[in-house]
Each structure stands twice: as structure tokens, then as C-alpha cells.
Amino acid sequence: MRFLLDDEQREFARALDGLLGSAGTPGVVRSWACGDHGPGRALWGRLAQAGVFALAVPEEHEGLGPLPVELAVAFDELGRHAVPGPLVETVAAGALLGRLGGDTARAWLPQLASGKAVASLCVLAPGGSPYALDADAADAVFVVDGDTVRLARSHGPVQPSADPARRLARPLGGVVLTQGPAVEVAAAHAADVAALATAAQALGLGRALLERTVEYVRLRTQFGVAVGSFQAVKHRLADTLIALEFAQPLVHAAALALAADDPAAGREVAAAKVSACEAAYGAARTALQLHGAVGYTDELDVSLWIRKARPLRTAWGTPTACRARVLAPDGRG
């Protein structure tokens, strides 16, 4: 057993961190929030060059995958830098089409892997979201409805989310691409990939919030000392770190389970999803509280991270649904 990222995976993370650290993501997010997708699509192209979108696409369709561990590594960095766009949905659509194969896979997967096409995905199911994320920015919106996959024709009006970088719209109409029992199996797998990517994204988001808040409380002084020297502040930050540190191995184990096609992977993914997203939301609450009033403004960039945490918590598996899955005998819940 060697339950640690290997050197190559660590190097991949460092490379993405370097790329994103100099990309000015807060500006990209603010443009995206106004419906100006230009800077976001440019960044998308660079991420594609780094291999991010090929990780969920099988090699036979010009991808590198499926590589769930590397996917988790990449999404950790995407979350850390608050990259906007249907990132999760694009890799989940890749997982869906990869499982289904056929003409649709041949037509779309190389485009997704290379970053030429951006996809969104909506799985219509009880308890699931009726919206496709960033449908207005996507080249293809795939809709799973029971045993049918459709390519949406258009979408309804854009509904703003609590996270300004998330723009939601109902997919409308469209042509049936595939139908049959294989769709439900492939869609369940795609939902697992989406939940894993969301969990990893939340982990990176939480870590960024913790780092920024630690930095802030070291500099901010009141009563003549750094507020970070107060025990009430320290303990809150310690708890934030604990939650993130214990969520991370769950995310890695879930990625390994998906990589091994483990029949219990659904349970592992659910445990990772709820833990990582609760930890990230806790980090956001801590960041807001310890920044004080200045954290409660949209002028400070940290708000872009804070506002992401809540929507990630319910996207691709609410906390309650994840907990039910953890205890379900088949891990499906």
C-alpha cells in the first residue's frame, strides 16, 4: 500500500497551480458572471492543453482516461483557483458518452478532450437539479431523462445562482441521441464522476479559503495584536483544517474505487462528496466570520470563493442524499 499521490501526480498539481496562479482567475470569474465568456474560454483552452478535459475521456476517443485520481488532483486545483464554467459537467459528459460509445461518442469526445467544445449535463431525476450549468456558454447540453440521452436544442432564461460564476438554465427540447437500459448505467457512472469532481473542487476551494483567512488574521490587528493570536480565532481555523484534512483521503479513496470499477464506488463517492463539501462550506463560514465585515462585501475577491461553497454542497448529490447512499447496501441510495 502506498496511499499517497505519486511524483507525477504531484507535479501535475504543481503545473496547474502555476498556470492558474498567473491566470487572474478573479477577473475571469467576474467576466463570466456578466455573461462575458471570452476570458473563461481562453483559460479553458489552456486547461485543455494541460490535459484536464482528456482525463475522463477514453484513449480510443483521443482522451487520456479514465484517470479518476488525476481528475481529483486537477479539480482540487480548479477549486483552489475558483475557475468558472461547466468543468464538472464537461468531464461528466465525457464519462457518460465514453460509457455509451457509438456515433455520439465519436462525434463529441475528441472535441471535449481537446477543449474545442464545452459541454453541460443535466440528469433529470427525483432530487436532481432541473438546470444545466452554464448552458449559455456550452457548445452541447446533454440531457439524461430515464433511459434516454438528448442533445438539448436550446435553453430557458438564465437563472443566477448564489455563486455568480454559476449560471443556470433549463435545457429545452432536442434530439434523442441514445435510448436503452445502458443509458441508466452510464448516467449513474457519470453522476459518480461528477460527484467526485465536485468533491475535489470543494476540497481545493476550502483549502484556498483557509489559506487566505490564515493570511488575513496574521496581518489584521485589533487590541494591538494580530487577531490570529486569539484562541477563539485559532480554534475555528484548526477545526477548518481538521475537516479538510480528513475529507481529502476520502476523495482519494473514492477516485481509486472509481478507477478500479469497484461495485462499492458509489458509497465511497458519496462519503467523499458530503465530507468535502461540508468541509468547504465550513471553511467558507470561517472565512466570512474571520474576515469580518470586509468579508461580507463583493469587492473583496475572497467573496468569489465564499459564494461557491454553498452551491457545490448541493450540486451532484445533496448532503442528505449522500449520507443515505453511504448506508445503502448497494451504494446507490
Partner 1 sequence: MDLDFTAAEDAFRAEARDWLASHVPSVPLPSLETAAGFAAHREWERTLFADRWSVVSWPGEFGGRGASLLEWLIFEEEYYRAGAPGRVSQNGINLLAPTLFEHGTDEQRARILPPMASGEVIWAQAWSEPEAGSDLASLRSTAVRTEGGWRIGGQKTWSSRAAFADRAFGLFRSDPDADRPHRGLTYLMFPLDADGVTVRPIGRLDGKPAFAELFLDDVFVPDEDVVGEPGQGWRIAMSTTGNERGLTLRSPGRFIAAADRLTALWHSTADLAHAPETAHAVDSGSGSGSGSGSGSHDTALRDRVADAVIGARAYRLFTYAHASRIAAGGSIGAESSLNKVFWSELDIALHETALDLLGPCGELSDEATEAPAHGSWAEGHTFSLAGPIYAGTNEIQRDIIAERLLGLPKGRR
Q: What is the dihedral of CA 29, 33, 37, 43, to 10 degrees?
A: 10
Give the x-and-dash track for 166-195 against partner 1 (CB under 8 A). ------------------------------
Determine which residue in the list 229, 264, 292, 296 makes contact with partner 1, applying CB under 8 A: 229
Q: What is the DSSP string of 179-238?
A: ESHHHHHHHHHHHHHHHHHHHHHHHHHHHHHHHHHHHHHHH-EETTEEGGGSHHHHHHHH
Neighbours of 102 (CB within 10 A): 11
Task: Select the span of 38-46, 184-192, 267-275, 298-306 touching partner 1 (CB under 8 A).
Answer: 267-275
Determine which residue in the list 201, 275, 286, 303 makes contact with partner 1, applying CB under 8 A: 275
The least CB distance from residue 173 to partner 1, in Å, is 29
The least CB distance from residue 186 to partner 1, in Å, is 20
Q: Say how far apart CA 35 and CA 165 lie, in whole Å.
A: 9
- Residue 264 sits in the site that holds partner 1 (CB under 8 A): no
The least CB distance from residue 96 to partner 1, in Å, is 23
Q: What residues does 141 pair with on adjacent strands?
A: 120
Q: In angstroms, how far is CA 240 from the centroid of its own chain?
A: 20
- Residue 46 sits in the site that holds partner 1 (CB under 8 A): no
The least CB distance from residue 72 to partner 1, in Å, is 10
Q: Say how far apart CA 246 and CA 141 lie, in whole Å.
A: 35
Q: Is the peptide bond before 66 cis (omega within 30 degrees of 0)?
A: yes
Q: What is the DSSP string of 251-277?
A: HHHHHHHHHTT-TTHHHHHHHHHHHHH
Q: Say how far apart CA 95 and CA 105 lie, in whole Å.
A: 10
Determine which residue in the list 100, 217, 265, 309 makes contact with partner 1, applying CB under 8 A: 217
Q: Are 143 and 124 in contact (CB under 8 A)?
A: yes
The least CB distance from residue 239 to partner 1, in Å, is 7
Q: What is the dihedral of CA 79, 62, 95, 2, to 10 degrees?
A: -60
- Residue 329 sits in the site that holds partner 1 (CB under 8 A): yes
Determine which residue in the list 2, 175, 181, 222 makes contact with partner 1, applying CB under 8 A: 2
Nearer to partner 1, 136 or 262 (CB): 262
Which of the 8 DSSP states describes residue 55? T
Give the x-and-dash track for 230-249 against partner 1 (CB under 8 A). xx-xxx-xxx-xx--xxx-x
Q: Say how far apart CA 244 and CA 238 lie, in whole Å.
A: 10
- Residue 223 sits in the site that holds partner 1 (CB under 8 A): no
Nearer to partner 1, 149 or 210 (CB): 210
Give the x-and-dash track for 96-135 against partner 1 (CB under 8 A). ------------------------------xx--------
Q: What residues does 167 pair with on adjacent strands?
A: 160
Q: Which residue has the cell 464545452?
A: 118
The least CB distance from residue 280 to partner 1, in Å, is 15
Nearer to partner 1, 178 or 286 (CB): 286
- Residue 327 sits in the site that holds partner 1 (CB under 8 A): yes
Backbone angles phi, psi at 220, to 5 degrees: -70, 125
Q: What residues does 155 pair with on adjacent strands?
A: 171
Nearer to partner 1, 150 or 313 (CB): 313
| Residues in touch with partner 1 (CB under 8 A) | 1-6, 9, 69, 126-127, 210, 214, 217-218, 225-226, 228-231, 233-235, 237-239, 241-242, 245-247, 249-250, 252-253, 256, 271, 274-275, 319-330, 332-333
